[in-house]
Structure 1
Amino acid sequence: MRPRVTLKLATSLDGRIATGSGESQWITGEKARAEGHRLRASHDAILVGIGTALADDPLLTVRQPGLEHRQPIRIVMDSRQRLSPDSRLVLTARESPVVVVTVQLPAPSLLRAGVEVIQVHAGRDGRPSLNHVLTELRGRGLISLLVEGGGEVAGRFLRGDAVDRIEWFRAPILLGAEGRPCVASLELANLAAAPKFRRLSAEPVGDDLWERYDAVR
């Protein structure tokens, strides 16, 4: 058993989440971002990789009027516990739960700040084993997980066949090959091995397009 996993993407038309220099705020418009907050409120937990945590210093909270009471657990995949004690996630850990998933012994500085540190087995790449992570989260009673970024984390969940739904917000801009992709390498041997999804809907949200997909297994 594992949580139901939704991958949320906010990209340009050509599937980029940032410019080559890393600029990403804001690719999508205000209405799309509001829908993103509603997605957060509908999940038990929200997960990002340490790259996103370091680059954006996000809060990962629900900041939509009327939904402030529905705050998901905030999770960071952080093999070496590089999350700064001065980050907004750590500084607010006593207000809203923050979990760091690592392959190391828990860092005392994170524990003192009120962060829960989960040590899991390492996969072949030295990063947290995805199956072990999902088993641990389900064991803590988490039924739904929203994965928000970045490309490396999205790639890992897709490679592991662990994405059940995609919520994709596309902005009407193009960032080109130098932009940062929303999904890292999938290590595909051939086209037949590509993850497959069925489109449920596509609708405008402000100037952006919101597409929803379910996994085909």
Structure 2
Amino acid sequence: MSARASVTLKIATSMDGRIALANGTSQWITNSQSRARSHQMRAEHDAVLVGIGTVLADDPLLTARIVPLPERQPVRIVADSRLRTPVTSRLVQSASAGRVVLAHAASNTSSASVLRDVDHWAVGDGNGRVAPAELVRRARAEGIDSIFLEGGGTLAASFLREGLVDRICWFRAPIIIGGDGIAAIGPLALETMANTSRWTLAERELISGDSLEIWEPLKD
């Protein structure tokens, strides 16, 4: 049995790897069929994970909205180092209907008294940030075997830097946004090509004009 939950990174971008326009507009890059497929993928995982930036920008619900609805919704996890998730967010307001977890690094958890239906995981790295390795270990200890990581770019980069991504599901729309758009993956601080991670294309399909690529780490 693995000591950590497996991680699938889902990315939805333009052809040139952008998740939004420079002004933050992102709805909708991919088509409705791709979005429906993404919801099916959510339902196939034990948990959905996003960063606090996604919560503040989009106020997502993070449920798997498929027909019929799944018997059990995935656990919804927010990497929220300083516990900034608003009490008024749709996640918090729907917590009584499905488990919500705030994975944080803050020592002050005063929000616990306000967010009564929300779980708090202290998984900090000692420098005020959420530690991805600690988060996936805690998830496994909580009975979560698989995580569907949906962004944003900073969180995706942190998991990639630590080699914690087991699969990438990359949706691409047939549009070009340009270099001023927001990148799908944040900085990785690489200095040599030898330090890049290598991936192999396991599957590719067309979804009404969009494409879906399934990538897996290249085995040595």
Q: TM-score normalized by structure 2?
A: 0.94
Take 2:110 and 2:26, find their aligned partners in 1: how far apart are those partners?
30
Q: Do residues 67 (structure 1) and 69 (structure 2) align?
A: yes
Please give the per-residue CA displacement for 1:100-122, whole angstroms capped at 9, x wherever unaligned: 01112323356544010111232
1:200 and 1:212 in contact (8 A); partners too: yes
- Report the more deviating stretch, 52-61 or 184-193: 184-193
Indicate the SS of the match to 2:92.
Answer: helix
Residues 142-190 of structure 1 show CA distances to partners (whole Å, capped at 9, x for unaligned) of 1100100110011001001000000010000011011000000111121
Aligned AA (2:99): P
Contact residue 85 and residue 113 of structure 1 kept, 8 A: no
Change (3 A) 1:110 1:63: farther
Amino acid aligned to 2:214: R
Corresponding pairs, count: 216
- Name the residue aligned to 2:123: 120
Q: Name the amino acid aligned to 2:123.
A: V
Match of residue 166 from structure 2: 164
Structure 2 partner of 1:186:
188
What stretches of structure 2 of length at least 5 have no aligned partner? Answer: none
For each residue in 1:78-123, what CA deviation from the matched residue of structure 2 results, as whole angstroms up to 9, or x when unmatched? 0111100000000001101100011123233565440101112324
More divergent stretch after superposition (169-178 vs 186-195)? 186-195
Give 2:6's aligned residue.
4
Q: Output aligned runs, 1:91-170, within 5 Å.
A: 91-104=93-106, 105-108=108-111, 112-124=115-127, 126-170=128-172
Q: Which moved more, 1:160-169 or 1:106-115?
A: 106-115
Q: Alignment partner of 1:133: what SS? A: helix
* Stretch of structure 1 that moved more, 99-108 or 46-55: 99-108
- 1:33 to 2:35 alignment: yes
Q: Is residue 45–residue 75 contact of structure 1 (8 Å, CA) maintained in 2?
A: yes
2:117 corresponds to which letter in structure 1? G
1:211 maps to 213
Q: Unaligned stretches of 5+ in structure 1?
A: none
Contact 2:81 2:124 survives alignment (8 Å): no
State the 1:67 CA deviation. 3.2
Q: Which residue does the alignment assign to 2:25?
A: 23
Alpha carbons of 1:49 and 1:110: their partners in 2 closer, same or farther (altered >3 Å)? farther
Decide whether the 8 Å contact of 1:106 with 1:118 is kept in 2. Answer: no
Q: Which residue of 2 aligns with 1:202?
A: 204
Separation in 2, partners of 1:146, 1:123: 25
1:79 corresponding residue in structure 2: 81
Tell me: CA distance 1:198–1:103, structure 2 relative to 1, closer, same or farther (3 Å): same
In 1: Cα distance, 2:213 partner to 2:204 partner = 4
Alignment-mate amino acid for residue 119 of structure 2: E
Q: CA RMSD in A?
A: 1.3
